[in-house]
Structure 1
Amino acid sequence: MGNSKFKEYFAPTVVLLVICLVASALLTGTYIMTKPIIAQREADAASGALAVVLPGGSDFAVMEDVTLVENVLEVQKAGNGEGFVVTASVGGYGGQVQSMVGINAAGEITGLQVMNHAETAGLGTKAFEEAYLGQFWGATSTDGANVIGGATYSSKAIIGAIDATILQFEVCNGASYDAPVQLTPEEQFAADCLEVLPGADAFTKLEGVTLAENALEVHKANNGVGMVVVTNGIGYNAGTPIKAVVGIDNNGAITGIKVTEHGETPGIGTRPIADEPTYIEQFIGATKITRGSSGDATKIDTISGATMTSVGVYDCAKAGIKQFEAMGGVI
């Protein structure tokens, strides 16, 4: 009876455990065996790309002692003096887009090849085709560069890689470069508050204050010019609320809005957040807002195609105004 129960209850578990161990071992073995092969293929692809993006270049060597500018991973210099090949990584729609960009000794872009990406095939990848890239050949800047409708983020990833390459070229030729300062979360929050409440100096968080709907925190400007309300609203991606800081002056008017966290779709939901500044500009100076057309409230127009995100940002702004009212109009 004992053996029977063991077989019934425990034997399947033991068998499953053995299968998992064997499968894990096989996967590990496969990874170990294929890792050097994959690495070699990537190296071969990169080596082949050098001649493609910088025609005429030869005897390439990685520059070890050069300062790398933002978004640049590596610089290779052509030993024959033809120019440089820069490997850059810039955020696109689906993640980082890694490219190799050639720039000749005159500072002109000679070629670009995307090495790694997760952009949408047939849409974002249009930015990687000659029909789009051709506008950059011979260019010394990206001024006036076009972006592809429906592939804005992918296009900007290419433009960003070329901008980084041009700046890197200048640094390689002796220009000075100050790397962007990496702020701590606390420093970034302080900077965001100063951005949405011009004229403020520093802030003190108000404890024990009654919070309005969608208001999370209140930070009063130490010099008395107003306050910043940390707010949230629900956009298209309900799983990740839109979080924003809203500046309110002593008259209850909105002085600025900045979205600090969101999970909206790049290129679509981000339109009212950052891509189209005119949306947020509608709120500036308003003490009352509406999405309809009632009374003396400022009417806020939503962005077609990004309605839910627009409403989420609107709710953040509304929370800032309601917080001022909840405090009796006294900051």
Structure 2
Amino acid sequence: MEWTYALDQYIAYIRDIRRLSPHTVSNYQRDLSAFAAHCDSEKILVFTVAQHDVRFYANQLRRAGQSSKTLQRKLSSIRQFYQYFIKIRQCYDNPALGVTPPKQGRKLPKVMDVDQLSQLLTLDADDPLQIRDKAMVELFYGCGLRLAELASLDLADIDRSAKQLVVTGKGNKQRLLPIGKMALEAIGQWLKVRSTLTSADEPALFLSRSGRRLSHRSIQQRLKNLAQQQASQQHLHPHLLRHSFASHLLESSGDLRAVQELLGHSDISTTQIYTHLDFQHLAKTYDAAHPRANRSRRDENSEND
């Protein structure tokens, strides 16, 4: 079968039978046409393509500067193309199976420095909404909360006398967090004026002007407005405050496990990326903490003798 006929048959299938969106069909067509042109230039027929041919093509694209994300999409297009012809029994092997692009590097998160945050939090709050917004920022930064976690907080989740907070995170997993002095003070100020916006039976901690639980969108917009009021050039959003919480805490304590628990991460590798932790710090932590890694001074001295 010629490449042109095979491509036309597959594109008709995903467009007319699977009814994929025009944008998706266009991506498939572009990716597969490029692969077909490569195979034509190498004189490789549609159903004689081998795994090493696909791997060679992927390596060519990588050397040409294609990103890992783009390579993943193009390899996926080739896999789906051959999977279709296996399904209708026109071929028996998928040459793209087992061919993977290099892992895409994760971007390090942006953080605000301590001075920037201190300046941001010097807001003179004199009306209920400003007082509420300051309390939200203090909680985001003071406890490292996700947007959904803060939005779902109820009055009952805060124990001011014990200085702690119950948070419901991903997978409905709960964790108990300490609340710092500045966050407690800000919450206390908010609770003094909260009753002006709602009735006594409303459970939500943070409320809108109409007395209802604040939506995610509203919280994001209020943070943006707060940054503008403080003439900050930084785009303020919940995850920036969470990143900053984790980074500043790790820099001060060096305790990766504690930061992992506070953030509610199930995998410590997530925390490692989240907090800019480099390999040297990890190695030092391992050497100092692991019983099989930590050599005694006596061992070191004996090697020096």
- TM-score range, shorter-chain basis? under 0.3
Task: Choose between structure 1 and 2: higher helix proportion.
Answer: 2
